[in-house]
Amino acid sequence: MRVGFIGLGSQGAPMARRIVEGGHELTLWARRPASVEPFADTAAKIADTPAELAAASDLVCLCVVGDDDVRQVLTGETGVLAGLAPGAVIAIHSTVHPDTCTEIAELAGRHDVSVLDAPVSGGGPAAADGTLLVMVGGAETDVEKARPVFATYADPVVHLGPLGSGQVAKILNNLLFSANLGSALSALELGDSLGVARDKLCEVLVRGSATSKAVNSISMFGGTVEGLAPIAGALLQKDVRHAASLAAAAKAAEGSVFTAADTALQHMDHPR
């Protein structure tokens, strides 16, 4: 499988390294030359444009930040779609709105190119270990084409249904994580009022039956979420906003999960 990879950040870079070390022919493109320098010791090739990368690829994986970033690298005279051959597949690892995936699929369909939405969870360490969670939406035949590549950096790879369903699952995952952060903060603030030292209560909540990734994340930053804000605040804000949009479109009540999520976002100075 010839693979192109765009988005060599803290999570994308180890994903790309797992691909080339897994024996797949890999082509990279990045806006900044510094992003591809760490791959000098691999067999990865470097393209001058996304279109050049696409021309050398059967599968193009995107791990850029958001909806507009996905559109920018795919469209235009030097974009990915300008270079892909019919029958190729695009995998969107970025967390974006499901409607963006539908929009991209319509554009790609004019080139006889398929699209998978394949957001990931686990971060850079999981990518380096090959244990990312990949949530995939799209046609079964396209999922099976891409699965050997996904398997180089992910375990498990969960096919959730048609295009967009992977993004729905990831957005709901991040909504619940944000809500868990908010609930944990409320418990810690109650502990403050009752005279329990926050660092000690964090230790109890991490090791006791209430433990969760949210509590562990808070404990790593001294019992607050302010330290998380530079790392995840804007991303969680985006995903909670996407969740609210999905709920509104489905005419579903937002419920207490949004209230708890807003608590965390407000503490990070990123209110929805």
Active site residues: 170
What's the rounded Cα separation, in Å, for the pair 255 and 246? Answer: 13
State the CB neighbour count (10 A cutoff) for residue 225. 27
Cite the beta strand spans of the chain per DSSP E: 2-6, 25-29, 45-46, 59-62, 89-92, 114-117, 120-121, 132-137, 154-161
3-state class of 134 per DSSP? strand
3-state class of 9 per DSSP? coil
Residue at token pair 């790609």? 108
What's the rounded Cα separation, in Å, for the pair 151 and 146? Answer: 9
Q: For residue 239, which of 153, 140, 168, 148 has the smallest C-alpha distance?
A: 168
Residue at token pair 């790309």? 16
